[in-house]
Amino acid sequence: MKKEPFVTLEQLKEIDKTYPTPYHLYDEKGIRENAKRVKEAFAWNKGFREYFAVKATPNPFLINILREYGCGCDCSSMTELQMADALGFGGDEIMFSSNATPAEEYQFARQINATINLDDFTHIEFLEKCAGIPEKISCRYNPGGVFKMSNGIMDNPGDSKYGFTHEQIIEGFKILKEKGVKTFGLHAFLASNTVTNEYYPLLAKVLFELAVELKEKTGVAVKFINLSGGVGIDYRPEQEKNDIMVIGEGVRKVYEEVLMPAGMGDVALYTEMGRFMMGPYGCLVTKAIHQKHIYKEYIGCDACAANLMRPAIYGAYHHITVMGKDNSVCDHKYDVTGSLCENSDKFAIDRMLPKVDVGDFLVIHDTGAHGYSMGYNYNGKLRSAELLLKEDGTVQMIRRAETDRDYFATFDFCDILKDIKWRE
């Protein structure tokens, strides 16, 4: 199988006249088509809403595109809450899922009437003291143990820092009910980046059965269930894509098997996908600027791990296309590197590619989620621009590149740096 870039070499050459590499580029057409499919996949559930995980791609231009398809925002910090509020999202459109949460963040979430998704049993008392208990609340469940799927994919919720235990969530619901909560929700995240259509249905079964148990043991009728994220993307060309229509149908089947017989056919379903919503519709565009021939063959790029850190910290695979050489034989083995003073600053190790020449455009695929958002300033590297390839083929800058003035702006003793020669 082959991964095709959503941008052509001719388009990149045109973009290069205005915007230098490196930059993150997003595909408006792909984002819109995918958001429409997600909405259709769960249209059978009247209360369905996708709460886009803002942490994945915190760009207002992209979030506003998703909003056109009914998406809300899943926020995990004060600044994400502030962004959602500033964009005009109302309380019901904002889910606040955080952990080790500072008091001021709970207070602001209450102020804008966001739905709070409590991560810990002890936070019931903490929230009551710092901000008060709202009438609507969600609780995050962690069943512990190991979560397995038939294709061998597994994760270990028991080793995760998130959520209530089984005993805690039953007790927590009783306490919250006594404190005046009228609308309850459930949430869980049990596996990350799953490339299988069975993850959501399996997770749904866990949460649906818990909802029925909670109704029996606490008298609480859960009104919404948040399947969170975890639906992955095919980073590798040989992987088969998730089919959101099949996933939605699988969840519907479990809904009818578990919730309907319990008289809970009005439960709204939520998702909070980031990677699936945006990942394949972004890429990091960089140029080969050096070749190095020592014990291995290296291609040095003008992008580095500060632009995309997943390969450096996770060993994550991101496919690379050498633009203009898509049909050439991949008969050269390279490490594709950046310029950070870290040997882990490699986008690919021993990757078979066509012969790469200095000046070639390299497209690093699937950086639309957890790409730009995980960037940093190590070695004084400046954050790159974000560009949107619009449906009509034009390009819009949706975040400018950082400048050296940005980097130094947070120093309180800028007079010490008064002789810096700023780049124009």
Tokens of 292: 């190095």
How far apart (Å, rounded) are the C-alpha atoms in residues 190 and 184? 20
Neighbours of 345 (CB within 10 A): 20
How many contiguous H segments (helices) and E segments (strands) does the chain have? 12, 19
Beta bridge partners of 351: 334
Q: How many CB atoms lie within 10 A of CB 124?
A: 21
Q: Which of 73, 304, 341, 414 is catalytic?
A: 341
Give SS3 for 224: strand
Please classify residue 249 by burial: count the beta carbons closer than 10 Å to its beta carbon, then call 0-12 exposed, 13-18 middle and 19+ buried. Answer: middle
What sections of 145-222 are H helices per DSSP? Answer: 166-178, 199-218
| Integer angstrom CA distances of residue 385 from 122, 403, 412 | 41, 10, 26
What is the spatial distance between Cα 277 and Cα 97, in angstroms, rounded to a whole number? 18
Q: Under 8 Å CB-to-CB from 260, ≥6 apart: which residues? A: none
Catalytic residue flag (residue 341):
yes
Q: Cα(84)–Cα(72) distance, rounded to whole angstroms?
A: 9
Residues annotated as catalytic (active site), given as ranges: 341
